[in-house]
Amino acid sequence: MTQIVRLERFGHDVYATWGRLYIWGDIFFTVERPWAHNRPNESCIPTGMYHLKRHDSEAHPASWAIIGDSVSLYEFENMPRFGCLIHPANFALEVEGCIAVGNSIANIGGVVGVTSSTSTLARIDAMLLQIENPLLEITSNR
């Protein structure tokens, strides 16, 4: 059964875009790069509806690929963006067009980011694996 997971962006600054990820009754926090006109490796992902697909790579095992609209999983699919993932990271500068998840937003060593990213993604992974065809709806309130 297809279920929709919702990412609601609620703020941004010159360094980051902030959001809340809703899965069932749980809320997680996200950080992405700021909007940069959908430029690969620089911009947050455009709002819209996307498929989520479990993806393992050497750099990001047990991550989730975001697929749809202008985003594909692999470069040879001739889309403007490819390889956009939900994966562990704490700061916007650690993602290149991907989404980092955490259980809160906090000042970490003088930089604002998301906390407990690896354990948060493990929890999200367990939840998404229970959904047959998870969809991600990205919206913005900013």
pLDDT tens-digit series, residues 88-117: 999 999 999 999 999 999 999 999 999 999
Number of other CB atoms surrounding residue 19 within 10 Å: 28
CA atoms within 13 A on the CB side of 4: 9
Backbone angles phi, psi at 32, to 5 degrees: -135, 175
Q: How far is residue 73's CA from residue 10's CA, in Å, rounded to a whole number? A: 26
pLDDT in tens, 31-84: 999 999 999 999 999 999 999 999 999 999 999 999 998 899 988 777 889 999
Where in the chain are the domains? 2-140
Q: How far is residue 1's CA from residue 59's CA, in Å, rounded to a whole number? A: 30
Mean pLDDT of 15-34: 97
Q: How far is CA 62 from CA 13, 26, 81, 89, 120, in A?
A: 29, 20, 20, 13, 12
pLDDT, position 8: 98
Q: How far is residue 59's CA from residue 68's CA, in Å, rounded to a whole number? A: 22
pLDDT, position 2: 78
Q: How far is CA 140 from CA 4, 105, 129, in A?
A: 16, 18, 26
Q: How far is residue 25's CA from residue 53's CA, in Å, rounded to a whole number? A: 21
Mean pLDDT of 23-27: 96
pLDDT, position 16: 97
Residue 142 has pLDDT above 70, yes or no: no
